[in-house]
A and B are shown apart, each in its own frame.
Chain A
Amino acid sequence: MVKLSRLPHLALFLALAAAPARAITPADILVIGGRYDDLVSLDPAEIYETSGAEYAANVYDRLVTIVNGRPEGALAERWEVSPDGRRFAFFIRPGATFQSGTPVSAKDAAWSLVRAVKLDKGAAFLLKQLGLTANDAERRIQAPDERRLILDLPEALAEDFVLKALASWVGSVIDSALVRKFEQKGDFGNEWLKTRSAGSGAYKLSFWRPGEGLALDAFPRHWRGMASMKRVVFKHLAEPSVLRLMVAKGDLDVARGLSADDLAALGRLTGVRVRTAPQAGLFYLAMNQRHPALSKAPVRQAIRRLIDYEGIAGRLLKDTKIPHQSILGEGFPGARLERPYRLDIEAARKLLAEAGIKPGQLTLALDVRNVAPSLDIAQALQADFARAGIRLDLRPGDGKQVLTRYRARVHQLVLAQWSPDFLDPHSNAQGFAWNPDNSDQSPFRLLAWRNAWEAPDLTRLVQRALRERDPNRRGDLYDELQRRLLEDSPYAVMFQDRHVWAERVDVEGFALGPGVDQLRLDQVSKRRANP
């Protein structure tokens, strides 16, 4: 008799040996897993989230595009700026066609920009900040012929700023002949385009299932040539451990949104490579100036010293976020990388005493999203604040609940995330430091307003920088702005996001950058020995 106790092990061994070889993804299909449940519309004039911006970047072309921080021609092969800085002329590339077969003309580009301004959906402000309004957009954006688009601005703005705004996803050029067929009640075909694609980009929409994911098929006649991946599947998978498992087993080619711990584990595998790249998003703690204690400068200074920037980053975040304290993240031209603040309980205690606050006297409520790592960071803050005698009550909520409270200015402290809409310093400067009207009725509800922070000087500084046409002097203004916000503001910027992803080793050319839409799927290929 064989030893019976061995049998289970034997069975297990056989089962493992007999387990079917994992079905890896086909050589010409790219499967990407990550968070893809936030898409609500595929219309580039309406898109307002990262996955949407990435979709638009691959399905639509723009007049210009940003490569390594510099504007470069896309559908427009070149452009000219008039000496007074108010007139931009774009010359459309011949030979580009829409996925429907219609050639791309300047009329399509003009129609698309006017459409975005007039539709006035969430992201329209990207164009409206150029001074365009629904009333005069048609007059200011004109296509005198098939090849030429003329943009007349009401006032001169920094050239870089104008081009970057046009290079964002709202600047996508849409197949006007196709979309206008489905126009109803003056919606510019929005209802139709919400769930469909009508672009000239390297990919076209295959299918989209909200909350589950989407797939794109390569457009064979793209002006840059056909992409190597015939099909790209974006699969919504929220669970980091599932993502990790599936990329490790080859069910996914690319896994995004992995947790810090999973990345470390994946780094030890041979079939998978872990990569990171800077991302422009910032993670910050905001302090409502309506709160009597938080409106005192020493308290704000103390709070900045009660954050264990390095400890939290090192232990909880690893590569997913890195310590960063200025309002311009790495990747922005002119970003300040210095980090003057670090955890210093003693200094914080002194500052609190200076503000007349005794240990145990101050209790603050912290609104925080109920997801990792926000909640983990909040709990770490809770522990350190307690060491200086401040009690921190956590108020976890889902993203929208937290945002609803933040926008209503009823928070005390909030842990929030900022993502610039496009890679121009104005995006962040306006977000953090521009508050022309601090009243409850204010139509402008950016971060300074939400924290009830009156900052007339800085608001003027932001305006001046926007209109400064000399790139060097403009850079100096943003440097001053960053410095002043670092000295004192209702924010403690804590971390900058990093893109982190794991990819199978045969994937090449998958790259992410500081902008929200720098993923270029037509540059991705797979190196397979035997297809």
Chain B
Amino acid sequence: MTRRADVTLILGLILVGLFLAAALLGPLLAAQAPLAADLGNRLAPPSADHWLGTDELGRDILARLAHGALTTLLMVVLVSAIAAPLGLVIGATAGLGGGWLDALLMRLTDIALALPRLVLALALAAALGAGLMNAALALALTAWPAYARLARAETRAAAGADFLAAARLAGAGPVRLIFVHILPLLLSTALVRLSLDLAGIVLAAAGLGFLGLGAAPPAPEWGAMIASGRKYLLDQWWVATFPGLAILLAGLGFTLLGDGLRDRLDPRTRRA
């Protein structure tokens, strides 16, 4: 059991590492500029000059994929940085506050959990207008409830603990309690949960990009690259195929990493 979890984890780490390397180093190392249009060399097949070929404006697909990795990474970071803290604070507040505050916040969370995420994110992104920030906001605003639930459960479990009572006696206010004493406790479970969510975020971001709701062109974005590449699917397969593979590999990496982390860190699944 542990061995399989490790294999999963290692595979996941490798893929995610590759993704991070592409995102952070790729733009520096890529020999070609991702935005440099070269109409004379459009839709060129993979070759020594352009390893993955060029797109409809003659731009190097490999360079665009590397920059697209950065876009995706930015998106993932933005969504996690908004959704997770938001959910955690709401959940911790509910768990610590109890009573009507708990009831109110958890009702809100339940409502938000029961709504269809992708469709609402889509409607929201459509209303806000295309753009990286808006797309991230749309995804984050539909992703926080899971964290709130988790944080509330953990906070309730810890509420009776001695160290909290001690902190209270020492005069810590609710804000201090939450940020200094409770949030650190939630970190490992939240990270596991987040790692399981990341693949979903990558896919949802690509989906929004595919529908033209992601980063504004000419910024390279994987979903948008597939959308514009689908016009050339029949003769120039590489234009749409490689961005799809990139999404697949990134998604796979995050899924494996999440599974592996869960198997390792989450005590509930560690048995057997």
- A/B: CB atoms within 8 Å of each other: yes
Answer whether residue B39 sits at the interface, using C-beta atoms and an 8 A cutoff.
yes
Stretch at the interface among A21-29, A108-116, A286-294, A373-381: A373-381
Residue interface mask B202-222, A partner, CB < 8 A = 1:
000000000010001110000
Contact of A241 among B39, B40, B43, B231 (CB under 8 A): B231
Chain B nearest CB: distance from A33 CB in Å?
15
Answer whether residue B244 sits at the interface, using C-beta atoms and an 8 A cutoff.
no
Does the CB pair B217–A265 fall under 8 Å? Answer: no
Stretch at the interface among B106-114, B163-171, B232-240: B232-240
Does the CB pair B130–A244 fall under 8 Å? Answer: no
Answer whether residue A401 sits at the interface, using C-beta atoms and an 8 A cutoff.
yes
In the bound complex, how far is the Cα of B130 from the Cα of A382, in angstroms?
A: 20
Residues of A close to B40: CB separation below 8 A:
315
The answer to whether residues A261 and B217 also contact, given A241-B230, A379-B37, A397-B129 and a CB cut-off of 8 A, is: no
Answer whether residue A370 sits at the interface, using C-beta atoms and an 8 A cutoff.
yes
Residues of B close to A394: CB separation below 8 A:
216-218
Does the CB pair B234–A245 fall under 8 Å? Answer: yes
Q: Quick one: closest A residue to B236, CB to CB?
A: A261
Residue interface mask A472-509, B partner, CB < 8 A = 1:
00000000000000000000000000000000000000
Q: Quick one: closest B residue to A371, CB to CB?
A: B212
Does the CB pair A370–B212 fall under 8 Å? Answer: yes
Q: Is the interface of A mostly helix, strand, loop or mixed?
A: helix
Answer whether residue B228 sits at the interface, using C-beta atoms and an 8 A cutoff.
yes
Chain B nearest CB: distance from A376 CB in Å?
6
Does the CB pair A401–B129 fall under 8 Å? Answer: yes
The answer to whether residues A372 and B228 also contact, given A316-B39, A379-B218 and a CB cut-off of 8 A, is: yes
In the bound complex, how far is the Cα of B40 from the Cα of A311, in angstroms?
A: 9
In the bound complex, how far is the Cα of B42 from the Cα of A401, in angstroms?
A: 29
In the bound complex, how far is the Cα of B10 from the Cα of A317, in angstroms?
A: 48
A residues 234-289 in Cβ contact with B at 8 Å: 239-241, 244-245, 259, 261-262, 265
Does the CB pair A379–B235 fall under 8 Å? Answer: no
Residues of A close to B212: CB separation below 8 A:
370, 396, 398
Does the CB pair B217–A370 fall under 8 Å? Answer: yes
Residue interface mask B33-48, A partner, CB < 8 A = 1:
0001101101100000
Answer whether residue B56 sits at the interface, using C-beta atoms and an 8 A cutoff.
yes
Answer whether residue A134 sits at the interface, using C-beta atoms and an 8 A cutoff.
no
Chain B nearest CB: distance from A507 CB in Å?
22
Answer whether residue B96 sits at the interface, using C-beta atoms and an 8 A cutoff.
no
Contact of B234 among A244, A376, A396 (CB under 8 A): A244
Q: Quick one: closest B residue to A316, CB to CB?
A: B39
Answer whether residue A383 sits at the interface, using C-beta atoms and an 8 A cutoff.
yes
Chain A nearest CB: distance from B241 CB in Å?
13
The answer to whether residues A241 and B232 also contact, given A383-B37, A394-B216, A394-B217 and a CB cut-off of 8 A, is: yes
Answer whether residue B57 sits at the interface, using C-beta atoms and an 8 A cutoff.
yes
Residues of A close to B234: CB separation below 8 A:
241, 244-245, 262, 265
A residues 405-441 in Cβ contact with B at 8 Å: none
Pick 7 A–B contacts, CB within 8 A, sort by A: A239-B231, A311-B39, A312-B39, A379-B37, A394-B216, A397-B129, A397-B130
Query: 19 new A-B pairs (CB below 8 Å) besides A239-B230, A241-B233, A315-B42?
Result: A241-B230, A241-B232, A261-B235, A262-B231, A265-B234, A312-B39, A315-B40, A316-B39, A375-B217, A379-B37, A379-B57, A380-B57, A382-B37, A383-B37, A394-B216, A394-B217, A395-B216, A396-B216, A397-B130
